[in-house]
A and B are shown apart, each in its own frame.
Chain A
Amino acid sequence: MFEGGRDVVDQIIARLRRPVRIDPSLDARVMERIAALPTPRRAGAVTAAWRWLTEPRHVALSPLSGLAVAAGLVALALLLPTIARRPAPTIHELQFVLVAPHATAVSLIGDFNDWDAARTPMRLAHGAGAVWTAVVPLSPGRYRYGFLVNGSLWLADPAAPAALDNDYGGPSSVVTVAGS
């Protein structure tokens, strides 16, 4: 039984070792069959993008990250109505005028320019003698200001209401820019 089995195995080995003859026309026939198959359409960029967007994915999030995302969404939901309700402030250009016959330099100083004498120098109006003017863009609100003449003399605006909360002695004026 064992010897006979050995013969069979030898025969199988010998057959497997025999060179395989391949029909020389095989390549041509295979390529012919392939060419005859219907061509699949290539997906366009839009299709690929749509597939990428709609394909379900698994997103891994730690509980802390999840809480952070949830808190961010809640904050956004709370802030959005406020942001949407608050219109952008309208900017008004206001002209300030001071008649100062003996002045050689006048600065407009106030809440709108950090009380900095160098920021808004006033200019002599052409052909108007001693009329000094400056134009400042302001959003709606209430501003305190004054004029600094020749670098030392502090003057309130005679054409504007005086600032009542005058903590420093030197007079200040008030301008209110309306929003409606």
Chain B
Amino acid sequence: MIPRLLLAALAVGLTGTVLARPAAAQDPRLERLEPSTRPLVAALIDSARAFGLPAEPLVQRALEGTIKGAPGDRIVAAVRRLAADLGRAREVLGAAASLPELEAGAAALRAGAAPAVLAELRRARRQPLTVPLAVLADLVASGVPADSAAAAVLALAATARDADLVEFRRAVERDIALGAPPAAAASVRVNAAAREARPGPP
């Protein structure tokens, strides 16, 4: 519900506040954007901020587009998409989610993780979710199917430390680089981690 409201607000805010917006209220870093793009991005950021979403990731996404020479409409689209992803992440992770958690949650959702996976992670893990969510997104980027990546991270999230999760991701990437199918690599590494965590007969 909230993302829909956010999307509507982003659309309305974009058209309604662009001309009325005083330039003095803009983040000075947005001066690096093209003059025609700047008010559109600033309006999007204002709308997102009004929904309690963090402005910093949106500013950074716009600046990334600038240095990469992206056209203004693509920058606006990227910022709008990220704002929507952040809104979806906050809806699932809760209002108390930290900025890094929201950013990682947005990346995981963009990677194809279902919102239910994020909610399940929130229930399963007491520590911050930044690293599990980031590892999930990174695994998908490495070629692991989103479902397999989500299952792997969920299997480890309750007990693994952040450093263990990062090491797990590296191991899966090594296996993939050596020729293992991505889904199988994730599955094998999860099973290995489970065996290490569960002491038993050799």
| Residue positions of A touching B, CB distance < 8 A | 109, 111, 114-117, 140-142, 144, 148, 154, 161-165, 167-170, 172, 174, 176, 178-180
Q: Does B193 contact A (CB under 8 A)?
A: no
Shortest Cβ distance from B51 into chain A, in angstroms?
Answer: 20
B134 with A176: CB separation less than 8 A: yes
Q: Is the CB of A142 within 8 A of B67?
A: no
Complex alpha-carbon distance, A180 and B135, angstroms:
14
| Cα(A49)–Cα(B171), bound, Å | 67
A167 neighbours in B (Cβ, 8 Å):
61, 65, 70, 74, 77-78, 81
Given A141-B99, A142-B103, A168-B78, A176:B138 Cβ within 8 A: yes
Find chain B residues with CB under 8 A from A111 CB.
57, 60, 64
Identify which of B64, B110, B128, B166 contacts A172 (C-beta below 8 A): B64
Q: Which residues of B contact A (CB under 8 A)?
A: 29, 57, 59-61, 63-68, 70, 74-75, 77-78, 81-82, 85, 99-100, 103-104, 106-107, 110-111, 127-128, 130-131, 133-135, 137-138, 140-142, 161-163, 165-166, 169, 173
Of chain A, the residue at the smallest CB distance from B104 is A142
B110's closest neighbor in chain A, by CB? A165
Residue numbers in A under 8 Å from B100 (CB-CB): 140-142, 179
B64 in complex: contacting residue of A144, A174, A176, CB < 8 Å: A144
Majority-rule SS of B interface residues: helix
CB distance from B164 to the nearest CB of A (A): 9
Question: Are B111 and A168 neighbours in the complex by a CB distance under 8 Å?
Answer: no
A165 and B74 within 8 A (CB)? no
- Contact between B70 and A168, CB atoms less than 8 A apart: yes
Measured in the bound complex, the distance between the Cα atoms of B129 and A179 in whole Å is: 10
Q: Which residues of B contact A161 (CB under 8 A)?
A: 138, 141-142, 169, 173
B127 — which chain A residues lie within 8 A by C-beta? 179-180
When distances are taken between beta carbons in the complex, the residues of chain A under 8 Å from B165 are: 178
Q: A115-B64, A140-B100, A144-B64 are in contact. Are A168 and B74 (CB under 8 A)?
A: yes
Interchain Cβ contacts under 8 Å between A and B, 25 examples? A111-B60, A111-B64, A114-B60, A115-B67, A140-B128, A141-B104, A141-B130, A148-B67, A161-B173, A162-B141, A165-B82, A165-B85, A165-B107, A165-B110, A165-B111, A167-B74, A167-B81, A168-B68, A174-B134, A176-B130, A176-B166, A178-B163, A179-B128, A179-B131, A179-B162
A116 to B32, CA, bound (A): 10
**In the complex, residue of chain A having the shortest beta-carbon distance to the beta carbon of B103:** A142
- Which of B81, B99, B133, B161 contacts A180, CB < 8 Å? B161
- Which residues of B lie under 8 Å from residue A178 when comparing CB positions? 131, 161-163, 165-166
Residue of B nearest to A162 (CB): B141
Question: Which A residues touch B99, using CB under 8 A?
Answer: 141
Taking the closest CB of chain A, its distance from the CB of B101, in whole angstroms, is 9
Given A142-B134, A178-B166, verify A169-B60 contact (CB < 8 Å): no
**In the complex the two chains form, what is the Cα distance from A165 to B103 in whole Å?**
11
Q: Which residue of A has the minimal Cβ distance to B162? A: A178
Known: A174-B138, A180-B161. 7 other contacts (CB 8 A): A114-B63, A165-B82, A168-B70, A169-B68, A176-B135, A178-B165, A179-B162
